Amino acid sequence: MKYKFAVDNRNYQDFSSGRVLYNFPGTTAFPVRLASEIYQRCAAILTENGVNAPYRLYDPCCGGAYLLTCIGFLHGQEISHIYASDIDHKVISIAEKNLSLLTQEGLKKRIAQIESMYAEFGKDSHYEALNSALRLKEILDKGDGRPEIRCFTADVTKARDLTGIVDSVNMVITDLPYGDIVTWSGQLDEKQAVSSLLDNILPVLLPGSLVALVTRKKTKIISEKYRRIELFTVGKRQITILQPV
């Protein structure tokens, strides 16, 4: 796959999981360049269709919100709201910590933690993490405003009313469970789980909104309620961009 938007293969080490962003067993990282590419492809399609920023972004299988946090740093000036949910209340606590880094208060707290570790242990890794945190702070300082953030626990494969928690979403980007680290909870059938997810997020999507699903290669995403806008692969990952019919 040829990158259309994230064309410069820059160094994304400042976003390394566990460096400044929080890490937790059972949560996964995500290629930062690919996250940026997916977001920018969706934003370009929305813009072409007359839907301009700021956007409301939702990840219903957020895990530790690594993907959302990276997008927030790179494109937060175009996003008004970030919604994050997961079935696991333990990882939601990590998601809250990571997404708090998109705020001055949250990042200031993290910088203080890293400074304390460096003062106590003097490790090169802590020094490098501190420099990364300060560079991330520069990103926040340049922004006019940051997204409103909401994290909550939910099994998006089960029918429930998301209205009132999530509202008027333009864009869904989610890395679906498909590997050795994370799996679907309570749903043995992947096809059924994906179908249920698509059904349950539909009421909170604005007309013309986009849903980008990251899955294993060759995974077929079929729903009568959506049409496929784009399909591309990067390594072992397949990205399907859908739009409600």
Q: What is the pLDDT of residues 93-131, one digit of tens each?
A: 999 999 999 999 999 999 999 999 999 999 999 999 999
Give the per-residue pLDDT at 117.
97
Question: Is 137 contained in some domain?
Answer: no
In a domain, 115, yes or no: no
Q: Write out the residue range of the structural domain in which residue 152 sits.
A: 13-102+146-244
Strand partners, 205: 169
The answer to the question of residue 45 being in a domain is: yes
Q: Tokens 């707290």 belong to which residue?
A: 109
What CATH number should be reported for the domain holding residue 180?
Answer: 3.40.50.150
Domain assignment present for residue 5? The answer is no
What pLDDT score was predicted for residue 181?
Answer: 42
SS3 226: strand
Residue 114, in any domain of the structure? no
Segment 189-214 shows an average pLDDT of 94
CA distances to 58, 75, 140 from 53, rounded to whole Å, are 15, 11, 18
* 33 located within any domain: yes
Average pLDDT over residues 52-79: 97
Rounded Cα distance, 28 and 85, in Å: 15
30-42 per-position pLDDT tens digit: 999 999 999 999 9
Reported as a single tens digit per residue, the pLDDT across 136-186 is: 999 999 987 789 999 999 999 987 889 889 999 999 999 998 755 445 665
Residue at 25 is within a domain: yes
Q: How many domains are there within the chain?
A: 1
